[in-house]
Structure 1
Amino acid sequence: MSSEIVARIKHHLSSDPDRLALFAGQEVLTAGALLAQIEAAEARLRDKGSPDQVALALPTSVEALVLFIAALNVARNTIYFDPNWPAETQQRILNFVRPDLLIDQVAWTSLRGGDAPEGDAHYTCFTSGSTGLPKGCLRHESSWLASFEADQPFSEVTAQSTILVAGSFAHSLFTYAAIRGLVAGAKIALLPNFHPGALLRQIEQHEQAMLFAVPTQLDALVNAAKGTYPNLSKVLCTGSKLAPHLAAKVKGRFPKADLIEFYGTSELSYVAARPVQQDDAASLVGKPLSPVQIEILNEEGQPVPPGETGQVFVQSPLAFKTYLTEAGQRDMPNRISVGDTGFVDAQGNLHLVGRADRMFTVSGRNVAPEEIEAALQKLPYVAHAAVWGKSDPKRGHQIVAALQLETTQSRAQILSDLRPHLTPYLMPQYLFAAGDWPYTSSGKTDLQKLNAQWQANQLQELT
């Protein structure tokens, strides 16, 4: 078993073994020391019988990164579990993923494995699990290699870069960030947990620093910042739509950083990208990356003209191969949709409107909650917003909005401030304030938990 990704990483590490390659708190490793740890981990895996499928359930750390790279080079499928899953969730996933070896913080446990994917190295990550049991997304390493090449015109990663990794390896973005940097010969700075103050200190310490982040992290980061930070050269944002007001704050705190938004998912990898500009439409996510083809289809599966909204379908060598679920494996067709709706403008740019599975009707009109959320987040005192429909026998649904407010506001004031940004039929009928905003493990709003709080009367209705 051999991995092209690992071969490239080892080439960079061996070519200059004395350079500093990895920073993790007080721990600093040279390239040679990191290479030695990887090869020692490979030897230990081979001593365990070179398992075909290795599952890691470890927090972000040097050990976790070393074992991930070693497993890519020894096993056919390297699987990353969220170490914070409840025991019941982990066991259910073990039952259908069936690795030969589980490595967690307690032990290396040999298991009765299942059939590994054929061919060279594979990697399996999991969706966030905001609704139901997480699904495994299995991809061949060639999709990662294609992603590295496709993102380079935007990311511009070089051997002089320092990649800041400030999230759990259970989230595929942060695994990608670490491997992306090492494959390019860049330095890596690992933060075991996301903490805005610690991340700002890392930004100050490293020149040509590049940050891979999700919008919720950027929001916390700019709110914690006390001044400007010129050392940051790139901010690469993905995971959910970047709100214009947040983009403006990022540009203010990191004045020399190019702000790049990528549209992508765990399943699709990167789909489209754009350098963020002040006057961009809130829906814009950019042009498809060079090997990616996008189609917008209506409910009958027919292409729609430019400017017309439909479901987004993607054909891409960057995409994953198979879902792994309790119901079995589900191989993907050449053309994939993850449920996003949007349109392509006359210039070939992709715009996102929302998610097909979140849409509801109001008086016969389709409503995309994301449009209302984006309007609410334009208000300077709204930190976060989530919208859904409440069943109504006359109108189909009434619009419910949950908000996290930075200052106390009345319902009347919020609606007054919102009117310039929304057509009348999109105005919420109910407004609620939430205290602690719930997130999934991937940093997105946990809509399932927020809706459950609303149904349990745990949110404060604004009057």
Structure 2
Amino acid sequence: MPETVAPDRPTLAGSYTGADNLARPFALAVGRAPGHPALIFGDEMVSYGTLLNQVRRAGAGVSALRRDGAPPRVALSLGNRAELPALFFGIVAAGGIVGLLDPKWSASQTAAALETFRPDLHLTTDTAAGWIAAQPAGWSIPAVDPQTPFLVGFTSGTTGRPKAFIRNQGSWLATLEASRVEFGIGTDDIVLVPGPLVHGLGLYGAVEGLSAGATVRVQPKFDAADAAAQLATCGVTTLVLVPTMLVGILDAAERDGRRFPALRRVVCSGAKLAPAVHERLSALCPDAAVLEYYGASELSFVSLRSSREGAPADSVGRPFHGVELSLREHDGTPVERGRPGTVWVRSGMLSDGYLGTTDGAGYREQGGWGTVGDYGWIDDDGWLRLVGRAGDMVITGGLNVYPAEVEAVLRAHPMVAEAVVFGLPDPYWGDALSAVVWWRGNGCATLADLRHWCQERLEAYKAPRRVFAAADMPLTGSGKIARADVRELAKSGGLEVVE
């Protein structure tokens, strides 16, 4: 049996995993306080009672789509609107499947996703509100088999080719239970979710808050200055977002002289926060816990690095509540502690794989354990460190380099705000290890300085041989850095070369 890490974690009273429907925790929150604000979109407030009425109408409409016992499939192409949470809970309450489509996709991307998902109903920004209003009221939430699929989301996986992953209701009930233990969001919290709800982090942040009876504030479109103002004046206790959005909010807050007096926790995922971001955040809200988690759409939560637990800065923390980790060689045998291996995960939160045909890369499952191909190692104190993903590895001069390891070192440089590392074709090295950096403020550094910085902290061959500086940061729809676009800019000569 491979070596595993599965620390005991305290649990809280009650349990989401005992629910008979993924929408049940939300419905119970309504029963406790129907007049409590559930959603706030700008000047619009939706109470829990009003939202439940919308959920029931949506559930009635989805139930009517059922044919031959198969779960109804409903595709949603919506921006950040109040209808999206109502439709989400209504679809899953009726035992249906939500297909999340980004309204920013091109026509061809949307058509490809619809061809994969094959929905019984496709609702858009223009049709969603009218469709909900046309459904009958008074429908009751039934019990649902926890193995019932409820979500199909699209992820680029390890190769950039979109894949449609599937989650079942039981996996998200287990996820809600785990995050309740780790994050502790409750009825007195005000949760700000500034990112798009069609992406996993934003959707889960909203669902988690509504399942806990909290008030969830959502921006129609990400606006760093408005988010900073809400954090300063609206009693926001919890912030859920990706690192690039957090940096934008900090920039706006520092420019406008704002502080975040009520903030208790910052939940962040998608990439590691640079040490300077931790310092800036601490200056604005010194009592807030920073909760960075590592995970994947197919795996859910894997590990957690809390600012209150003393985890090493270069780690992604310890196993999340309910998670076991196993590090293995390519042939499946366990690795010795302290040596890198493929990160395998066992928990009740794993996905059901992919819908339709795939390229064979990405998520794999074996004997109840799952992996997306990430490599890492665990130190003697149980902290997990990531060194990269199989598809990201650069072979330079015959030696293997995982970009994540080099990026972490570059981000720690006092002049570097963010970095992306990759290989560029080179006749001598095969791939020349290269980096794109974004400077901090008005600072800058030379190529020799950055190489020396890396060589003092890593093996010499892991120091980038080419460095480019960028002013703008291309982002994906979810707010993460568009790594493929950054590499293409460097390859095509569209960036400044750091001499």
Name the residue aligned to 1:318.
Answer: 349
Q: Deviations over 1:9-46 (max 9, x none)?
A: 12211332222222110001222222222223333444
Offset, 1:416: 5.0
Structure 1 residue 269 and structure 2 residue 294: aligned? no
- Which of residues 486, 489, 492 is equivalent to 1:450? 486
Structure 1 residue 164 and structure 2 residue 198: aligned? no
Name the residue aligned to 2:272.
Answer: 241
Partners in 2 of 1:137 and 1:421 — Cα distance?
38
Name the residue aligned to 1:365.
Answer: 399
Structure 1 residue 143 and structure 2 residue 171: aligned? yes
Q: Deviations over 1:121-148 (max 9, x none)?
A: 5112221478544211111111111111
- Which of residues 388, 392, 401 is equivalent to 2:435? 401
Name the residue aligned to 1:173.
Answer: 201
Structure 2 letter corresponding to 1:380? P
> Residues 119 and 156 (structure 1 numbering): CA distance in 2 closer, same or farther, change over 3 Å?
closer
Partners in 2 of 1:158 and 1:349 — Cα distance?
28
> Residues 207 and 118 (structure 1 numbering): CA distance in 2 closer, same or farther, change over 3 Å?
closer
Name the residue aligned to 1:73.
Answer: 93
Name the residue aligned to 1:293.
Answer: 324
- Matched residue of 1:149: which SS? helix
Name the residue aligned to 1:341.
Answer: 375
Name the residue aligned to 2:466.
Answer: 430
TM-score by length of 2: 0.84
Name the residue aligned to 1:192.
Answer: 220
Partners in 2 of 1:318 and 1:134 — Cα distance?
21
Offset, 1:210: 0.7
Name the residue aligned to 2:59.
Answer: 42
Identity across the alignment (%): 32
Offset, 1:400: 1.1
> Residues 130 and 65 (structure 1 numbering): CA distance in 2 closer, same or farther, change over 3 Å?
farther
Kindly report which structure 2 residues correspond to 1:30-109, keeping only aligned pairs within 5 A, or say none.
30-46=47-63, 52-107=72-127
Structure 1 residue 388 and structure 2 residue 422: aligned? yes
Structure 2 letter corresponding to 1:398? A
Partners in 2 of 1:130 and 1:245 — Cα distance?
29
Offset, 1:445: 1.9
Q: Are the counterparts in 2 of residues 283 and 351 from structure 1 also a CA contact under 8 Å?
A: yes
- Matched residue of 1:164: which SS? strand
Question: Over aligned residues, Cα RMSD in angstroms?
Answer: 2.7
Offset, 1:213: 1.4
Structure 1 unpaired stretches of 5+: 111-116
Q: Deviations over 1:232-262 (max 9, x none)?
A: 1111111222332322222222212111111
Partners in 1 of 2:22 and 2:475 — Cα distance?
32
Q: Deviations over 1:154-202 (max 9, x none)?
A: 2011111112111112211111111111111111111122211111222
Name the residue aligned to 1:26.
Answer: 43
Structure 1 letter corresponding to 2:415? Y
Q: Are the counterparts in 1 of residues 228 and 250 from structure 2 also a CA contact under 8 Å?
A: no
Q: Are the counterparts in 2 of residues 130 and 440 from structure 1 also a CA contact under 8 Å?
A: no
Name the residue aligned to 1:205.
Answer: 233
Partners in 1 of 2:359 and 2:391 — Cα distance?
22
- Matched residue of 1:185: which SS? coil
Name the residue aligned to 1:351.
Answer: 385
> Residues 157 and 393 (structure 1 numbering): CA distance in 2 closer, same or farther, change over 3 Å?
same
Structure 1 residue 127 and structure 2 residue 158: aligned? no
Q: Deviations over 1:293-346 (max 9, x none)?
A: 211112332111111011111122111112124449998432221121101112
> Residues 163 and 22 (structure 1 numbering): CA distance in 2 closer, same or farther, change over 3 Å?
same
Partners in 2 of 1:343 and 1:379 — Cα distance?
23
Partners in 2 of 1:376 and 1:300 — Cα distance?
33
- Matched residue of 1:139: which SS? strand
Partners in 2 of 1:262 and 1:398 — Cα distance?
31
Structure 2 unpaired stretches of 5+: 1-18, 132-144
User: In terms of mean alpha carbon deviation, does 87-96 or 206-215 score higher?
Assistant: 206-215
> Residues 75 and 152 (structure 1 numbering): CA distance in 2 closer, same or farther, change over 3 Å?
closer
Q: Deviations over 1:23-75 (max 9, x none)?
A: 11000122222222222333344455687111111011101111111111124
How many equivalent residue pairs? Answer: 456
